[in-house]
Structure 1
Amino acid sequence: MDRRRLTTLLERERDSHVRRNPRSAAAYAKAEHLFGRVPMTWMNKQAAGFPLYLESARGSHVVDLDGHDYVDLCLGDTGAMAGHSPTAVTEAVTRRLASLGGATAMMPTEDAEWVGAELTRRFGLPKWSFSLTATDANRWAIRLARAVTGRPKILVNSFCYHGSVDESLIVVGEDGEGVSRPGNVGAPCDVTLTSRVAEFNDVDGLARQLAHGDVAAVLMEPALTNIGIVLPEPGYLDAVRTLTRRHGTLLINDETHTFSAGPGGCTGAWGLAPDIVTIGKAIGGGVPVGAYGLSAELAAAILDRDDLDLVDMGGVGGTLAGNALSVAAARATLEHVLTDSAFAGMTALATRFTDAVTTVIEAHDLPWSISQLGARAEYRFARPAPRDGTSSACASDGELEDYLHLYLANRGVLLTPFHNMALMSPATTAADVDHHTEVFTAAVAELLA
C-alpha cells in the first residue's frame, strides 16, 4: 500500500465530509455547554473533526441532520441490535408511559419475572437482577463475587472491554505482568491492587495468575469484541472453566457484545457454564437496561449471608434499576424482536457480509482478515487474525481505518466508529449488506490503484 496515496485519499474524503454536512458541523460548533461539545466525549471519535448529528432512525437506517440516509451497521455499538425503534418495543414503551404510566415507581412489575424466565431459558442461569447498563451489571457482579469468595482481585483479559469498570483497565506489560491501560482516567488506585490480567487464549498465563489464590472472579467476554473480534481457540474456554473451578474462582461471562452469537450469546451457543452472566444494551431495544444472572448455588450463598446489605446502601443496586419502562422494553425486545428465528436471519446476513469482504481481501491478496461472531463481523488489518488482545491492538492502523470509515460514510454506510465492526439487526436486508460490499470494494480499489 502506498501510504502517500492513502493520506491523499483520506484528505479528499475529509473535505467531502465537511462539504456534505454543514448542518452537523454548525451544530457541533455551537455546542458550547457540552463537555467536549458532545453529550459523551466518546462521540468525538470521528475521522473528520466533528460527528454526524442524528435526525431520525428507523429499522436499519439512520438519517443525519443534513438529510443523508445511511445503512447503519453500527447500530449503537450493539445498543440498537434490535434495529431502531422496532414496532413491538415502541408499542410497549408507549403503553407503559401513555396508558399505564409509572415509568419508575420503586415497585416491581410482572414483566420482570417474564424477562428473568426468558433470560434463564437463553443463558441457563436461574436467578436474575437488573441494572441500567452492562457496566453496572459488571460492577455489582464483581462486588458479589468478592463478598462470597472473600478474595480481593478480579482477573480480566488484556485489552478487554467491560464498560468503565475500574478493575478492567489493566493490560499485560512487557514482563508479562499487569500494568495500567494507557489513558486510564482518574484511577482510584493502582489497578494492580485490584486486578490481575492474562492474554485471551493464553491458558498458561491464566493458570499462573490464578495460582496466586487471590482472584475472586474471572470477568471475560467469551470472545473479545471491542479491540476487534478475537475468537477463542479450540479448548480455550473449557480450560478457563476447568482452571477457575480448580482455584475456587468464579467465572463471569460478559455477553453484552457477544450476544450477537445467538439468542443466548456465546453461553448458549457454545454450551458454556459460567457462575454469572452479565448483559446490557441490546436486550432493551434501545431503552437503557442491563442485567446479571446467577447460578442457583451462588444466589443461595449470597442470600444466606445476613451480614450483606443487599437492600439499602451495601453497594449493589440503583434507584432506576429494574424500572417498569426498561423492563417493559426488554420484554418486548426478547419476546418479539431478538427472537431465535431473528438471530438465524441476522447471522446469515453477517455471513453474506463476511463472504463478500473475504472475496475482496483475497482478490487483492491483502494482509487483512475478517472474523465473524454470529450476527457481528469485523475486518482487521492483519493476517492471520490476531489471537489475543495485545496483538489485536497492535494491528490497528488509524489512518487506514479513518479512510475506510469516511469513504463508507460519504457513500451512505456507517460502521462502528471505534473499529471496523458491522452488526446485523432483524431489520437489516441483503440490499443493505450489498451496498456495503459495493462501497467497500470501490474503497479498496481506489486505495490500491
Structure 2
Amino acid sequence: MSVLPSVFAASPSPQPSPRGGEGEIAAFLARQIAIFEAAHPRTLELAQASSAVWRGGVPMHWMGDWSSPVPLFAERAKEATLWDVDGHAYDDFCLGDTPSMFGHGREELQRAIADQALNGVGFMLPTVRSLRVGQLLTERFGLPLWQCATTASDANRAVIRWARAITKRRKILIIDGCYHGMVDDAFVVLKDGQATAKKGLIGQVTDLTQSTVVVPFNDLPAMSAALKRGEVACVLLEPVMTNCGMILPDEGYHQALRALCDETGTLLVYDETHTLSSGFGGYVREHGLRADILTVGKAIAGGVPAAVWGVSAEVAARMDAAQAEIGAGSSGIGTTLSGNALAIAGMEAMLTEVMTPEAYDYMQAGATYLVDGLREVIARQGVDWSVVHVGARAELVFASPTPRNAAEMRPHLEGALLPAFHLYLINKGVLIAPFHNMMLISPKTSYEATDRLVAAVEGFVKEYKALNI
C-alpha cells in the first residue's frame, strides 16, 4: 500500500464550520495537489499525451471529474484494490461508481464471458441462458416480465415512453436532485421553488419543464398536489436518493407514495441502479415496496454494459393493449446490442454465483463496521458531520442532522472542502466515489481496508481542524 506523507501536523482546535474558511481550505487543497503531482510522474505524462487524442484528456468526460489535478490512470484492479500506473495501490470504495460493486476481476464473471465469447457475443436472438436469466430476475425482484437494455439510461428512457403510451399522459414526475442516466426528461431541477433545466445541460432545445414535474424528496404534500392534477404518467425515483448526496426516505414515505399513485392512476417506477446494494432483492424487495416498473443497471452484469427493466402483469397487459392500438412499426425503443449473449452470460454469472445472500451479508456487516468507525471519528473529533447508511453503501455528510432533500444537501456539496477531502484520501491510498462522499463495501473489501479508510478520514479531520477556520 502506497501511503504518501501528510503536509499538516494534527493539533486540537475549536470545531470548524463546514462552509467557512474557503481560502484556508483552498490552500490546503493546493498542497495536496503538490503531493499528488510529486508522486505521479507517469500519470502526469500520460495525461498530457492523452489530451492530444481525447477531448478533455479522457475517453468519457466523467473520468475527469475526480478531485486530483488529472485522473489516475488505472493499470489493473483485483477484488477491492486498484493499482495505478505509478505503482500506487488504492483501497477501492468507489468500485467504478457501482458497476464493480461485487469486486474487480471476479473469476466467476471471467469464466462466463470467456465461454460466451468463444461461441459468439451477439446474435439478436435469444439463448438458453436468456431464459434462465429471465427466471432469475423474476425470482430475485418479484416482477414477472422483463426486458433488457444496454444501460440504465436506455432502460429508463424505454420505461418513460411506455408509461406515456399506456396512460396517455404526457408528463412524468421526478425528484429534485435525481439522476437517472442520460434521460432528457430527468434533467429538471428546482431553483427557488421553480422547475428549470439542470445547470450545464448541453444542446437541449425542448422546454423540459413542460413535460416533467419535479418535487422535493420526502415532500408528500408537493407530491400529492402534483399527482392529483391527473397529468402525470409515472413517478420515477430512487428509493433512496444517491446522486445528490445520499438521502434516506422519511418513515412511511414510500407507502404514502404508493397510495397516491394508486389513487391517481400513476405508474410507480423505481430505479434500483444504485440501491441494488441495499440487499439481495434490492431496496424495493427488501423493504416490501410494490413497484409497477423496476429498472436496474450497472452491477447487474458485473460491469459488462447491461441493464434490465421489469413490469407487473397488469402493466405488461396494458403495454400489449397500447402496442395493438398503435399498430406495427418502429417503436423507438431498444438497441441492437441490448440483451446480447455476452451481457446475458454476465448477468447469469452475477445472479447465480456472485450476488449471493452470503455476499450481501458480508457487505452489510462491512458497511455497518464502516459506519460505526466514521461515527466514532465524528464524535471523537467533535465535528458537526453525520453518516447516512443503507445496505452496503454509506456516505459521510458535512452536515448534521442529515439533509432530507436536495435543497438542504446542495450547500454541503459546494466549495473547496469536498475536493480537498477527496484528494487527501487519494493521497492516502483510498478511493471513494468522486461526485460526493459515497463509499461502497464489496464482498472482497477487507476490514483492514476499512480501518485504513476510517484512519484517513480521521487524519483529514485533524488536519482540517488544524487550519483554525
TM-score (structure 1 length as normaliser): 0.97
Which one of the candidate residues 176, 180, 201 is aligned to 1:158? 176
Counterpart Cα distance in 2 of 1:44 and 1:278: 27
| Displacement after TM superposition at 1:125 (Å) | 0.6
Aligned partners of 1:190, 1:382: CA distance in 2, in Å?
34
Q: Does 1:10 align with 2:29?
A: yes
1:135 is aligned, of 153, 166, 180, to: 153
Q: Note if contact 2:22-2:416 (Cα within 8 Å) is conserved in structure 1.
A: no
1:23 and 1:146 map into 2 onto residues whose CA distance is: 51
**Alignment of 1:70 onto 2:87:** no
Aligned 8 A contact 1:14 1:47 in 2: no
Deviation at 1:394, TM superposition (A): 2.3
Query: What secondary structure, in the 3-state scheme, does the structure 1 residue paired with 2:404 have?
Result: coil
Query: Residues 90-113 of structure 1: CA distance to partner in whole angstroms, max 9, x if unpaired?
Result: 110011113xx2101111112222
Task: For 1:53 and 1:45, locate their aligned partners in 2 and report how far apart those are by CA, in whole Å.
Answer: 13
Partner of 2:65: 45
Q: Which residue of 2 aligns with 1:420?
A: 437
Moved more, 213-222 or 362-371: 362-371
Describe the SS at the equivalent of 2:199. Answer: coil
**Counterpart-to-counterpart distance in 1, 2:166 and 2:358:** 38
| C-alpha distance in 2 between matches for 1:275 and 1:188 | 31
CA distance in 2, matches of 1:75, 1:383: 27
Q: Distance in 1 between matches of 2:316 and 2:156?
A: 16
Give the Å deviation of 1:10: 1.4
Q: Tell me, yes or no, if the aligned pair for 1:219 and 1:252 is still in contact at 8 Å.
A: yes
Asked if structure 2 preserves the Cα contact closer than 8 Å seen for 1:308 and 1:314, the reply is no
Q: 2:347 aligns with which of 330, 341, 362?
A: 330
Decide which moves more: 24-33 or 83-92: 24-33
The residue that corresponds to 1:224 in the other structure is 241
Q: Are 2:380 and 1:363 equivalent residues in the alignment?
A: yes
Question: 2:314: which partner in 1?
Answer: 297
Kept in 2: contact 1:281–1:288 (CA 8 A): yes
Which one is further off, 19-28 or 272-281? 19-28
Alpha-carbon offset, residue 48 of structure 1: 2.9
- 1:21-420 equivalences under 5 Å are 21-31=40-50, 32-98=52-118, 101-174=119-192, 176-304=193-321, 305-308=323-326, 313-420=330-437
Following superposition, the deviation at residue 309 of structure 1 comes to 6.1
Considering only aligned residues, what root-mean-square deviation do their CA atoms show, in Å?
1.3
Match of 2:416, SS?
helix
Question: SS state of the match for residue 234, structure 2?
Answer: strand
Shift of 1:177: 3.5
Please give the per-residue CA displacement for 1:64-108, whole angstroms capped at 9, x wherever unaligned.
Answer: 11111101000011111121121100110011113xx21011111
Q: Per-residue deviation at 1:307?
A: 3.4
SS of 1:196's equivalent in the other structure is strand
- Cα deviation, 1:16-50, whole Å, max 9, x if unaligned, reads 11111111111111121212111111111122321
Q: Deviations over 1:302-347 (max 9, x none)?
A: 123313468x621111100000000100110111111111111101
- Structure 1 residues 3 and 183: alpha-carbon distance in aligned structure 2, compared to 1, 3 A threshold: closer
- Quick check: 300-309 or 204-213, which moved more? 300-309
Distance, in Å, in 2 between the alignment partners of 1:235 and 1:15 is 49
- Percent identity (aligned): 41
Shift of residue 7, structure 1, vs aligned partner: 2.7
Return the offset for 1:172: 1.9
The range that moved more, 403-412 or 227-236, is 403-412
**Given residue 296 of structure 1, which amino acid in structure 2 is its aligned partner?**
A
Letter in 2 for 1:131: A
- Separation (CA, whole Å) in 1 of partners of 2:234 and 2:295: 13
**CA distance, structure 2, for counterparts of residue 330 and residue 308 of structure 1:** 32
- Mapped pair 1:431 → 2:451: no
Aligned in 2, Cα 1:20/1:308: closer, same or farther, shift over 3 Å?
farther
8 Å CA contact retained: 1:255, 1:277: yes
Q: Hey, what's the Cα distance between the residues in 2 that align with 1:4 and 1:173? A: 27
SS in 2 for 1:36: helix
Quick one: distance in 2 between partners of 1:282 and 1:48? Answer: 26
Separation (CA, whole Å) in 1 of partners of 2:280 and 2:129: 19
CA distance in 2, matches of 1:419, 1:309: 46
For the Cα contact (< 8 Å) 2:188–2:214, is it kept in 1?
Answer: yes
Q: One-letter code of the match for 1:279?
A: V
**Structure 1 residue ranges, 4+ long, deviating more than 4 angstroms after superposition:** none
1:360-384: CA deviation from partner (whole Å, max 9, x where unpaired):
1112221211101100000111110
The one-letter code sitting in structure 1 at the alignment partner of 2:48 is A
8 Å Cα contact 2:22/2:415 also seen in 1: no
Q: Secondary structure at the match of 1:341?
A: helix
Larger CA deviation: 331-340 vs 247-256: 331-340
1:222 offset after TM fit, Å? 0.5
Cα distance between partner residues in 2 of 1:181 and 1:190: 11
Q: How far apart in 1 are the matches of 2:31 and 2:196?
A: 39
Helix, strand or coil at the partner of 2:456: helix
Secondary structure in 2 matching 1:377: strand
For the 8 Å contact 1:156–1:196, the answer to whether it is kept is yes
Distance, in Å, in 1 between the alignment partners of 2:121 and 2:274 is 27
Contact 1:5–1:447 at 8 Å: present in 2 too?
no
In the alignment, the residues of structure 2 paired with residue 326 and residue 251 of structure 1 have an alpha-carbon distance, to the nearest angstrom, of: 27
